[in-house]
Amino acid sequence: GLQKHKSSWPFLQPVSKDDVADYYETIKEPMDLGTMEARLEAKQYMAPEDFIKDAQLIFENCRRFNDEGSPR
């Protein structure tokens, strides 16, 4: 799955405030693959669209936090 992809490592766990202090100032609805896996195992996704929404949120957050105007 997604978690085994060679480029997935930055998205496996929630972003650490210790590593990226201002992340949660910019990103108000964080998402990561580990959280998605836990939700899937807990049967919290009522429809496939809910799962897809969380996956898209990972990419949207990445773009928002690392956009061209970002000092990062």
What the chain holds in terms of domains, given with CATH numbers, is 2-65 (1.20.920.10)
Tens of pLDDT, residue by residue over 44-66, are: 999 999 999 999 999 999 999 99
Whether 72 has a pLDDT exceeding 70, the answer reads no
Amino acid letter, residue 55: A
Q: Are 70 and 45 a contacting pair, CB within 8 Å?
A: no
Judged by phi (left if over 0) then psi (alpha if -120 to 50, else beta), residue 43 lies in: left
Nearest one of 2, 3, 53, 59 to 27, comparing CA atoms: 59
Amino acid letter, residue 27: I
Instruction: Write down the pTM of the prediction.
Output: 0.88
pLDDT, averaged across the chain: 93
Nearest one of 15, 16, 1 to 57, comparing CA atoms: 15
